[in-house]
Structure 1
Amino acid sequence: MDDTQLCFPQLNSSCIKPRRPHTQAVLLHILLSSISLLTTALNLLVIVSISHFKKLHSPTNLLLLSLAVSDFFVGILMSFQIILADGCWFLGDAVCMLYCALDYVVTSASVGTMVLISVDRYVAICDPLHYPTKVTMRRATVCTSLCWACSFLYNGVLLKDNLKQPGRYNSCSGECVVVISDMMGVADLILTFIGPVTVIIVLYGRVFVVAVSQARVIRSHTFTLQGPQTVYAKRSELKAVRTLDQSSVFDVTSVPLELWLFYFNSCLNPIIYAFCYPWFLKSVKLIVTLKIFEPESCEASVL
């Protein structure tokens, strides 16, 4: 048909390019481009902050660094999603497979990191006396490395047929799809969504119960010894509770029903850091003003 738009007009096997109003297409590109740029920039600030300043080298921050790395790659991968927004893929089957594989790996690594963060917060609040001995930099490094290694290995097995022959499941030229078997799809749903969410809900539920019971004990002791007075929680404890709540939300949205929610969540993470962690704002100020290039800047007190 004369009015039909094709991705590759010179090919008989070309996919049909979906029609979209010009205004809608422009707004979609602006929105995705803005989120992509903001996601990449903000998570890069988190990566530089935790990597550069020695005061921030802690097990918890190492997990946040892992999450920021995955979110950073999400921002980069959004540039490919912008291409797909037009309904056609012009970069070839090999690049398509690379994009899809990285998308799967980053998503799995993000989910795994959120589970590790929930375990870290569980030990910190439910077993604080043994936290320094149970959660060490070495163990956090090993767990984070294993998380990423398992993500690469697991998704390599999941996408092995697609990796052997990129584009084998494309129905027309200009399409970018990957296909996994029904059995592997069910296994992936359990391993990357149902399982992690269940673990996090159980751990956070236990943390909530412990926090409430401790608060009641403290309140009763304070009332008995000193009479009625207002009890103020430490700022670090408040941050821990907020972080726990946010982590559960992050984990659920790491495997979203809508793709843009996943991308927007990766952009939102560092913004929430700014409200929960004072060190982030201090670090950003030093980075933006280029003071990190000064001698001994890594020793700066940002806590």
Structure 2
Amino acid sequence: MEEVELCFPQLNTSCWKTKRPLSHTVLIYMVLSFISLLTVTLNLLVIISISHFKQLHTPTNLLLLSLAVCDFFIGIIMLFQIMLIDGCWVLGDFMCALYGVFDFTMTCSSIGTMMLISADRYVAICDPMNYSIKVTPKRVGIWISLCWTCSVFLLSVLMKENLKQPGRFNSCTGECILIITFVEQITDLVLIFIIPITVIVVLYMRVFVVAVSQARAMRSHIAAVSLQCSVSAFTKKSELKAARTLGVVIVVFLFCICPFFSSTLLGQDTLLSTSSAAFFICLFYFNSCLNPIVYAFFYPWFRKSIRLIVTLQILTPGSHDASMLRDTA
């Protein structure tokens, strides 16, 4: 049976924490710490890979780089979430607010990047002839910058009261809680969940329909005689494979994020607290660990880059010019 005790026994205003058997606590800490460490490590490998090797500086990979940066910081944030398992926050009100800032910014930027990835695949599959014209590294960089800028702007609007005076909504010492009004909650739900998820689903449904159509055309050699689809079979196969891989990333992302945002539909005013939605938050964070694992399964260039990084071959002169995409179709 679970017992409770004060987070700070010397303070009468201290919050209560749940005391579990030592074996349970150690197991939880070990599992979550391992996931956090794995998330940080794998996404750091993605960041180094795409940043270091010039051949990987493609529009799609720049989007993956932005997503990896979000996932990297979410892996770090997860370490702070571990502290909330027992219901006690020991780092003070300022660090609680800072934790909320990073959590909100990375969450919003991650969702925005997923929406950009869906748009990228939509253009690549549905309008391949004009893809290289419409989607350039420079344009992708601008959209990524806008995505992060909008995340910071939404943060300043939705969490302004929490940032003015950190800890103002805490009911006891040792609590980390951020509260938004009903209007702000609806705005958050619409702008950060409903609209992006709708766009992602609609775009990928269109991509799926066109991809299936193109795959059938390739098998029957119809695409070879079609003027509109005169792109080489290799290019088509590469684009379809990229769409399939990123489709897996999107599906995993939706599976992990939907429960978290669905909990806000219950009418709670609390966005983040020491006890509510702990499982959903951890599930959302776990998605950041799964993304690079998906890359490792589907992207030969990522496996090759890992070998070069681990063996320190990236430190040799001219390593950034190494061929990473050969035989990866």
TM-score normalized with structure 2 length: 0.85
- Distance in 1 separating the partners of 2:175 and 2:92: 9
1:284 is aligned to 306
Contact 1:35/1:263 (<8 A) preserved: no
Provide, for residues 108-158 of structure 1, a one-character-per-residue CA deviation record: whole Å limited to 9, x for no partner.
000000000000000000000000000001100000011011101111111
- For 2:155 and 2:256, the matched residues in 1 are separated by 19
Q: Please list the CA deviations of residues 247-270 of structure 1 after superposition, one character each: whole Å capped at 9, or x if unmatched.
A: 243145345431121121100100
Describe how 1:99-178 pairs up with structure 2 within 5 A.
99-178=99-178
Aligned to 1:90: 90
Secondary structure at the counterpart of residue 178 of structure 2 = coil
* 1:121–1:244 Cα contact (<8 Å) kept: no
1:254-269 residue pairs with structure 2 within 5 A? 254=257, 256-257=259-260, 258-269=280-291
1:57-76 aligned within 5 A: 57-76=57-76
Q: How does 1:180-191 map to 2 (within 5 A)?
A: 180-191=180-191
Asked whether 1:198 is paired with 2:203, we answer no
One-letter amino acid of the counterpart of residue 196, structure 1 = P
Measure the CA separation in 2 of the matches of 1:190 and 1:248: 20
What does residue 50 of structure 1 align with? 50
Which amino acid in the other structure matches residue 182 of structure 2? D
* Of 74-83 and 56-65, the range deviating more from structure 2: 74-83
Corresponding position of 2:229:
none
Contact 1:193 1:252 in 2 (8 A): no
Secondary structure of residue in 2 paired with 1:234: helix
Bigger Cα displacement from structure 2, 287-296 vs 212-221: 212-221
Could you tell me which residue of structure 1 aligns to residue 250 of structure 2?
Answer: 247
Distance 1:12-1:132 versus aligned 2 partners, 3 A rule: same
Please say which of residues 11-20 and 95-104 is displaced more in the overlay.
Answer: 11-20
> Aligned pair 1:299/2:299, yes or no?
no
d(CA) in 1 for partners of 2:4 and 2:206?
58
User: How far did residue 220 of structure 1 move?
Assistant: 4.5
Cα offset, 1:235, TM superposition: 4.8
* Distance (Å, rounded) in 1 between the aligned partners of 2:135 and 2:238: 21
CA distance in 2, matches of 1:22, 1:12: 25
Equivalent position SS for 1:150: helix
In 2, Cα distance between equivalents of 1:191 and 1:6: 39
Indicate the SS of the match to 1:17.
strand
TM-score (norm 1): 0.92
Residue equivalent to 2:78:
78
Cα deviation code 1:28-78 (max 9, x no counterpart):
000110001000000000000000000100110000000000000011111
Q: Which of 234, 237, 262 is the aligned partner of 2:240?
A: 237
How many residues of Structure 1 are paired with residues of Structure 2 in the alignment? 296
How much identity, in percent, do the aligned residues show? 59
**What is the rounded CA distance, in whole Å, between the counterparts of 1:254 and 1:8 in structure 2?**
34
- Supply the distance in 1 between the matched residues of 2:64 and 2:218 (Cα, whole angstroms): 31
Q: 1:252 to 1:149 in 2, by over 3 A?
A: farther
C-alpha contact 1:6 1:17 (8 A) present in aligned 2: yes
- 291-300 vs 78-87, which moves further: 78-87
Instruction: Report the CA distance between 1:219 and its aligned residue.
Output: 4.2
Change (3 A) 1:151 1:70: same
* CA distance, structure 2, for counterparts of residue 55 and residue 219 of structure 1: 30
- Which structure 1 residue ranges, 5 or more long, are not aligned? 226-230
Q: Distance in 1 between matches of 2:257 and 2:59?
A: 22
For 2:6, what is the secondary structure of its paired residue? coil
Q: Is 1:254–1:262's contact at 8 Å kept on the other side of the alignment? A: yes
Contact 1:107 1:255 in 2 (8 A): no
Q: Structure 1 stretch 105-114 or stretch 8-17: which is displaced more? A: 8-17
Conserved 8 A contact 1:83-1:89: yes
C-alpha contact 1:39 1:75 (8 A) present in aligned 2: yes
